[in-house]
Structure 1
Amino acid sequence: EAARAGFAPERDAQLAVGRPGFITAWNKAAADLAELLQGRRVVLNKSYWATHDDSGQDLTARFPVELHNSTLRHMYTTLERALDCSVIDYPADLQVADSQHRWGLSPFHYTSPYYEHFLARLTEVTS
């Protein structure tokens, strides 16, 4: 998406998940964000990458699922500790990638029940 918007920094200039300095930079940004959000209503969408798709295909060999999920666990824990927020969690049986997703197979393009769960939980926590 960034490239389509015209943003094309040198690859080495990007601070990507798993690269040295990423967690340190993210922790600082999260602390700044938490300070800005104090006293505001926040809903944390605690979404993890799927390990498999709806046909049963294992995605962990094709995508760095565990790297991203372990990083996300850290991120969500940090934000939950720093913020008074509502949390949307997902049962494991909903964390399934859609093999026919309109934007292609990816560990974060889920099947319809996942999104239905999100909408139902968002309605609950914001009512």
Structure 2
Amino acid sequence: MVERDIKKVFLNDLARLQFDVFLIDLIDERFNLYLEPEGKICTLSSELLSVGFPKDSNRGSKICSGSEEFWHLWEAGWSTLLSQLRHFGVLDRLRVNQVFWSSRTENGGNFEPDYSDRQVDLANQSLERMYRHISADIPSRQFLRFNYGLMTGSITHKWGISPFHYIDAYYHAAIQQLCGWPLLRNRTAISEKAMTSRTNYPVDRVILRHEGDQLVATAVFEASQIGQISFYVFRNGKQIHTQGYSQGSIVRVGIKPEPGVYRALVFFLTQDGRRVTVYSNPVFLYPVISTLAG
């Protein structure tokens, strides 16, 4: 990755690449740039710094992410990429992953001391500016957009706690959106048909029911299974409860009398590393009833 960034060979490769989806994620625009006296630029990524790159060298200068100088360079880069995608007739295959930094983790904590609330706000302002710029060239249907509740920081992410390392439900939603695109939907259907012919999914269904002031979600298995289960509960698409991986197949969630459609999402992690996701039945609670005076 570092070598490709320094050599700037991607646009040359684009002519011979074959792909169904060209997915752009702007989260890494958080990194500063390094400008050499000769005018060459590279990204001061974690990978580059990990190999001993002298980021504080007096020989070159740093261009800070979020600065106007950074913006003008990004704008020029986007224009170049846009032109190339149009030239090769693949602009319609572009998808933009419209995500933002989270301000809180799934247990309500912040990201200090690594990231302050001010840093989160500034990063999101820069991202919003980029998305607005791209939307002038790309139709809305080519954006992946998410409920803000899904963009919550995970406390168990394999790469650590960070404003852009989200809970599992976000990644599931992203895959659903990508697979919903017509070209991928057809290919996925063929793949799933082949897979289900030789694989029985361990989770038969997830049952969600209302008991007093609680919601009870139960994962029902076709047979005895060994693995880990996590639960996510949503109201009107917004996450209201998370239970991390455990061996328990039932979760009880205390709820307030708020009207809405409630649903549970289960992730089952098998012994061989497969992750199965299953949604529960929807439950509609506390409807608002209006009456007209006679």
Match of 2:82 among 21, 34, 38: 34
Structure 1's 34 and 55: CA in aligned 2 closer, same or farther, altered over 3 A?
same
Match of 1:86 among 135, 139, 142: 142
For this pair of structures, how many residues does the alignment match? 126
Q: How does 1:1-127 map to 2 (within 5 A)?
A: 1-4=47-50, 6=51, 8-11=53-56, 13-38=61-86, 39-40=89-90, 41-59=93-111, 62-63=114-115, 64-84=119-139, 86-125=142-181, 126-127=184-185
Greater relative CO (CA pairs within 8 A, separation 6+)? 1
Mapped to 2, the partners of 1:107 and 1:17 lie a distance apart of 16
| Secondary structure of 1:44 counterpart | strand
Structure 1's 61 and 81: CA in aligned 2 closer, same or farther, altered over 3 A?
farther
Amino acid at match of 1:24: H
Deviates more, 1:27-36 or 1:78-87: 78-87
Structure 2: which 5+ residue stretches go unaligned? 1-46, 186-294
**Where do 4+ consecutive residues of structure 1 move more than 4 Å?**
none
Deviation of the 1:102 alpha carbon: 1.6
Deviation of the 1:62 alpha carbon: 4.8
Deviation of the 1:27 alpha carbon: 0.8
Structure 1: which 5+ residue stretches go unaligned? none
Structure 1's 43 and 75: CA in aligned 2 closer, same or farther, altered over 3 A?
same
| Secondary structure of 1:69 counterpart | helix
Q: Deviations over 1:10-49 (max 9, x none)?
A: 3473323123411111111111111111231101111111
| Secondary structure of 1:83 counterpart | coil
Deviates more, 1:24-33 or 1:13-22: 13-22
Q: Which has the higher helix share?
A: 1
Mapped to 1, the partners of 2:178 and 2:145 lie a distance apart of 10
Amino acid at match of 2:136: R
Q: Which has the higher strand share?
A: 2
TM-score normalised according to structure 1 size: 0.86
RMSD: 2.1
TM-score normalised according to structure 2 size: 0.40
Q: Percent identity?
A: 24
Mapped to 2, the partners of 1:42 and 1:80 lie a distance apart of 12
Deviation of the 1:100 alpha carbon: 2.1
Amino acid at match of 1:45: N
Is the 8 Å Cα contact of residues 94 and 142 (structure 2) preserved in structure 1? yes
| Secondary structure of 1:21 counterpart | helix
